[in-house]
Chains A and B, each alone.
Chain A
């Protein structure tokens, strides 16, 4: 802004002020406020978050979940004080074996378990018998025995907590666990 324009601006400003003073006297009174004044516009609009993009877990081939899905179960059950493989167990183990046939570098551990209705020492041995029975069945279906290790937990790791026939039936089991995923 040049120094020459300043006086002009000042004069213009004074004229404007005087006009205002005059207008104030001549204007009609403001109408009664029928509608409330609009609220001041916010600086920012409130944001909304779009729904999360969906994520679904997917069973990858060669995983424990894939194994369970393909075989029907990772678990076979046994009768009281028995380690013989019944027809249901045969079907599950057969399906386990064919899955293991597809993934020939997967190694598994078969865990043997018992119900609580036996002494601690005997149950450790019985759990081992069950794990071995499952292992032998898998091996007979063509799974290399060197890929299968066994461990017995006896009655130390029940699947179901309870002292009744239903819990005991669930606890007399051999569970096939993948040790290393398929490559």
Chain B
């Protein structure tokens, strides 16, 4: 027995060091990973389908989540038999190695007597035969997809050392109709496009929704009643509230990291300045007072700094100031204009829209203005929004005289992919990880 433990440790130690995906520099070759259909001890009917069906679908979701990062490559499930329940805790590693998988995600689906489902999630290092992590997730049948996302987050986190982002939602603006009479509606969906629903009817023009990082609240801009201004919208209760009592336009709102403050712009006689709004007391503080367009404010994750854009120097550029509005310093200096900055939740980078040479591209820069990198190359990419872990950026892409779609790109500039939406789409905002 002791001998076996010793052997396991001996094998595990180097394996733990090697089976790791470095997501900072980007990967040359994605890690091959096997995600066979999750097993079920007894095929049981549930409101979401049989446990066997769910086992297949859970595996498909996990595989889609992981390969979508660009860090992993799915090994063809046909290359090895799907495991039975007994093999979930004692996998047939030889077959996995033959199929050239380095990591194995496997698990089980169990229908419980109380009507809930438990999805067991297991991650193995195929070469060391070491179990890296195991966790069960109990969900209602209607919420089974969340268990698949939680399992994906667990695997991602164990293999990359970073927190995941799959169990999260996106709020965005769904677009329909001709461009001269566009109908825009708020819509929300899971990060993979599932569970899509519209939040507004399309009667009023709506723009730039953003999630609260702490609760079920969204802030957005609506033209309701021909009064373009910022609103708060609790998507749990449906309660809506206009923010502040400005007789001019307010727009470009974003929450502070603690969810207590909103930053946004208010226009006064053709100029836009940045204001802070304390949600509890409804008190407004003016932060900038320049003869310029100051907009797109975004807090640093520690709440001490604010990045924003301003044309005070002649053209749109990025500035960082203290949270009280003092000490503004320009941080963007490259060719062209820089706009719509948003601070990474990790604090290390600011994503923004770089306009140069007739193109709008998503870029990142360090908060001190160094290390600017362009991530995308298209006609019109704009409005970046960070994944909860600060590793992926959502944005909207408009083709020349064409469609608007949502896309995401890895921080390293890889894995540029479309997020499926039923209609055309813009202004995406990634919500926090669900609890």
Choice from B184, B252, B360, B400 contacting A121 with Cβ under 8 Å: B252
User: A108-123: which residues lie under 8 A (CB-CB) from chain B?
Assistant: 109, 116, 118-122
Cα separation A158 to B360 with both chains bound (whole Å) = 19
B344 within 8 A of A: no
B267 within 8 A of A: yes
Query: Is the CB–CB distance between B383 and A157 below 8 Å?
Result: no
Cα separation A163 to B401 with both chains bound (whole Å) = 5
What is the size, in residues, of chain A's interface with B at 8 Å between Cβ atoms?
Answer: 28
B371 within 8 A of A: no
Chain B 305-339 interface mask (CB, 8 Å, partner A; 1/0): 00001010000100000000000000000000001
How many contacts A-B (CB < 8 Å)? 93
Chain A 151-172 interface mask (CB, 8 Å, partner B; 1/0): 1110011111111100000000
Query: Is the CB–CB distance between A162 and B401 below 8 Å?
Result: yes
Query: Is the CB–CB distance between A121 and B265 below 8 Å?
Result: yes
Shortest B213–chain A CB gap in Å is 20
Choice from A109, A118, A161 contacting B179 with Cβ under 8 Å: A161
B226 within 8 A of A: yes
Q: Which of A1-9, A89-97, A127-135 contacts B (4 or more CB under 8 A)?
A: A127-135
Which residues from B are CB-within-8-Å of A178? none
A175 within 8 A of B: no
Cα separation A47 to B67 with both chains bound (whole Å) = 78
Which residues from A are CB-within-8-Å of B191? none
With A116-B380, A122-B295, A122-B339 already in contact, the answer to whether A133 and B180 are too (CB < 8 A) is no
Query: Is the CB–CB distance between A122 and B179 below 8 Å?
Result: no
Report whether over half of chain B's contact residues are helix, strand or loop; otherwise say mixed: strand
Query: Is the CB–CB distance between B398 and A116 below 8 Å?
Result: yes
With A121-B208, A156-B207 already in contact, the answer to whether A128 and B272 are too (CB < 8 A) is yes
Query: Is the CB–CB distance between A129 and B270 below 8 Å?
Result: yes
Which residues from A are CB-within-8-Å of B383? 119-120
Which residues from A are CB-within-8-Å of B316? 119, 122
Query: Is the CB–CB distance between B360 and A119 below 8 Å?
Result: yes
Query: Is the CB–CB distance between B180 and A161 below 8 Å?
Result: yes
* Beta-carbon nearest neighbor of B309 in chain A: A122
Query: Is the CB–CB distance between A119 and B401 below 8 Å?
Result: no
Chain B 221-264 interface mask (CB, 8 Å, partner A; 1/0): 00100101000000000000000000011011000000000000
Shortest A59–chain B CB gap in Å is 25
Chain B 252-291 interface mask (CB, 8 Å, partner A; 1/0): 1000000000000101011110000000000000000000
Shortest A78–chain B CB gap in Å is 13
Query: Is the CB–CB distance between B182 and A156 below 8 Å?
Result: yes
Which of B228, B311, B398: most chain A CB closer than 10 A?
Answer: B228
With A116-B380, A121-B251, A128-B249 already in contact, the answer to whether A159 and B180 are too (CB < 8 A) is yes
Shortest A66–chain B CB gap in Å is 23
B205 within 8 A of A: yes
Query: Is the CB–CB distance between B339 and A161 below 8 Å?
Result: no
Query: Is the CB–CB distance between A83 and B270 below 8 Å?
Result: yes
Shortest A181–chain B CB gap in Å is 18
* Beta-carbon nearest neighbor of A179 in chain B: B226
Query: Is the CB–CB distance between B340 and A120 below 8 Å?
Result: yes
Which residues from A are CB-within-8-Å of B184? 156
B59 within 8 A of A: no
A182 within 8 A of B: no
Query: Is the CB–CB distance between B355 and A119 below 8 Å?
Result: yes
Which residues from B are CB-within-8-Å of A77? none
A143 within 8 A of B: no
A126 within 8 A of B: yes
Which residues from A are CB-within-8-Å of B265? 121, 125
Query: Is the CB–CB distance between B270 and A121 below 8 Å?
Result: no
A124 within 8 A of B: yes
Which of B249, B252, B270: most chain A CB closer than 10 A?
Answer: B270
Which residues from A are CB-within-8-Å of B380? 116
Which residues from B are CB-within-8-Å of A116? 380, 398
Which residues from B are CB-within-8-Å of A132? 269-270
Query: Is the CB–CB distance between A125 and B179 below 8 Å?
Result: no
24 A-B pairs with C-beta separation under 8 A = A83-B270, A116-B398, A118-B339, A119-B355, A119-B360, A120-B383, A120-B427, A121-B208, A121-B252, A122-B293, A122-B295, A122-B311, A122-B316, A124-B252, A125-B272, A125-B295, A128-B270, A132-B269, A151-B249, A152-B267, A156-B182, A156-B207, A157-B181, A163-B379
